[in-house]
Amino acid sequence: MNSDTAEFKWSYKEIRRRIRRTVFTKGVKPYFVLVLIIFLFSFIGILQINASGIINTLDMQFGRGVVNKDDILNILDYVRGTPFMQSLPEFIREEIVVDIIWGTLSTYSWLINLLAMNHAYMERNIGEVFAFVMLFMLLYKGITSFFKKTLAVGLHRAVMENRFQRDVKIRRIFAPFGNHKFLHVIGVMSIYVIVMALWWLTIIGGIIKHYQYLFVPYLLAENPDLSWKKARNLSSKMTHWYKWKMFLTEMSYLYLLIPGFLIPISDLFLVMPIDYTMDTEMYFTLRQRPDISRKRFIETAFDGDAYVDRIKAGEKPEDIHPEYLMQDMHIRNSSFDAADDYRIIDYIAMFFIFCFIGWLWEVGLHLVKDMVFVNRGVMYGPWLPIYGAGGVFIIALLNRLKHHKFKLFVSTMVLCGILEYFTSFVIEFFSNRSYWDYHDMQLNLNGRVCLAGLIAFDIGGFLGIFIVGPLIKNMMHRLGDKRGKILCSVLITLFVIDIICCKIFGPNIGEGIGKEYSERGVYREVVYLSEQPSP
């Protein structure tokens, strides 16, 4: 250890104090914004926490479908008979490896269902089926790991800024990907994922490299132009001589595992905010090392003291407004705080795009679960009007609330709930059919709306208002008024024809499409939107 490093102080007490104050003492709003950011990343699967069971329920994951148990048992019998499995001790083979394989086969049961459509093939090629499932699992895990690790850079950026200001803006999770940086960040983080996966094969090497390369995502969150080599080398220099101290700092919070396991929701509200703030605090502590070149640290706002320290020194909250070199991710002709101006043809285009996206989602959901292609809509064309109407209503009515995010959040949930409930009521009243049913979901209202669906719609509404809507507007502007009007006229004509067909022949019905009530109010066919029918 050189003399410059020797003069550098690592104070466990100061780090823990700053973590505690940053998370809990800045006020109710900053705390819940931090929790909300962590919830959003957990909701889309980027963070895996003990609260994931609750979050996955809200997310209505559909990967685990109904599968013939005999198919899985046949695959397991084949695996048990392979030379490699026979060479393992019985305890490891049955209690560890088989359990892992069983979980994998259950998770990707829809793929087994797909291959089992030709059951004769499956019986002849049981080993090939197993290989397909495992190969798909590896590819899927690899691709999603790259994507999730890349998006996690945005999470790090928000937590880093949370250290220096009272209220961090949720939109700052997109900041590192502006100015066409997304592909570059994907490239760097992909190398990071591969390198760490290889090091973890050695176990001890994985533990060491975990701490040595811990700050690569944080360095990209500050300077997205860094290459893998530069980010890796800088993280290595920052952590040199300090990996053990970082480990001990983490171990000082080991007691948080107790409430984290006993009370799952505490992981979201307590453990993860502290955990990410701790890594951030260690990053900024080691960022001050005098023996490291400063040229890669481009944010001068990060050179100052933490918000809680500035407040302790006597500064007023209203005087603390850090200015960052990294600007918000910008969508042309739009902003995060000002309402957008839309034309009629913009709204028409939005309606049909949202209708089509909703149709793709419902058709894909049924295809994955039941291996059957079904037009899930009440109409005959590739569109679901409730998605289109909901998207347009949210943008048209709530676009003006872009500057007030909390009001927008509540208003979006209320508007979506009213729209979904009213649409379900109208369809059932006039056709004695129901196209979705949430009776099997927690916190539902007459099976027409549920909390999980409203949260999903809320997130979709934010994406529509801040990202998708402005992108559609720009697309229509590039298309031009004349061609835009022609396109909208054609779509409206086809939609009206579809309505006339529904009036003449009745709404779209069939197996896998909603459920029908008898005159006595009893289900004649029960197929839930996100659940297989009970026997």
- pLDDT single digits (tens) 241-266: 999 999 999 999 998 888 777 776 77
* 191 within some domain: yes
Residues 257 and 383 in one domain: no
Tell me: pLDDT of 54 over 70: no
Q: Are 289 and 238 in contact (CB under 8 A)?
A: yes
Average pLDDT over residues 56-68: 43
User: How many angstroms from the chain centroid is the CA of residue 255?
Assistant: 28
Structural domain boundaries, residue 436:
344-525
Give residue-wise pLDDT tens across range 477-504.
Answer: 989 989 999 999 999 999 999 889 888 8
Structural domain includes residue 10 = no
Shared domain for 176 and 73, answered yes or no, is no
- How high is the mean pLDDT of the chain? 82
Which residues, 6+ apart, have CB-to-CB distance to 298 below 8 Å? 222, 223, 325
pTM of the model: 0.71
Q: Which residue has the higher pLDDT, 66 or 419?
A: 419
Query: Residue 471 domain-assigned?
Result: yes
Does residue 329 fall inside a structural domain?
A: no
Looking at the structure of the chain, the number of domains it has is 3
Does residue 357 lie in a domain region? yes
Nearest Cα residue to 270 out of 285, 283, 253: 253
pLDDT classification of 61: cutoffs 50, 70, 90: very low
Containing 302, the helix (H) or strand (E) segment is none
Q: Are residues 94 and 184 part of one domain?
A: no
511 assigned to some structural domain: yes
Q: Which amino acid is at 360?
A: L
| Same domain assignment for residues 224 and 169 | yes
Q: Are residues 387 and 507 in the same domain?
A: yes
**Alpha-carbon dihedral angle through residues 507, 508, 511, 513, given to the nearest 10 degrees:** -90
In terms of domains, do 498 and 521 share one? yes
DSSP string, 249-268: HHHTTGGGHHHHHHSHHHII
Is 191 found in the same domain as 51?
Answer: yes
Mean pLDDT across 12-16 = 93
Same domain, yes or no: 160 and 300: yes
130 falls within a domain: yes
- Report yes or no on 1 lying in a domain: no
Q: Does 331 have pLDDT greater than 80?
A: no
Q: Give yes or no: residues 405 and 486 share one domain.
A: yes
**What is the tens place of the pLDDT at every residue in 287-317?**
999 999 888 999 999 998 999 999 999 999 8
Q: Which of residues 139, 156, 182 is at a domain's end?
A: 139
Which H or E run contains 524? Answer: strand 523-525
Co-location of 150 and 135 in the same domain:
no
Q: Do 444 and 485 have their domain in common?
A: yes
Q: Where is average pLDDT lowest: 18-32, 110-124, 234-248?
A: 110-124
Question: Residue 228 — very low, low, confident or very high, per pLDDT cuts 50/70/90?
Answer: very high
Cα angle, residue 169 at apex, residues 326 and 158 outer, rounded to 5°: 60
Same domain, 234 and 349: no
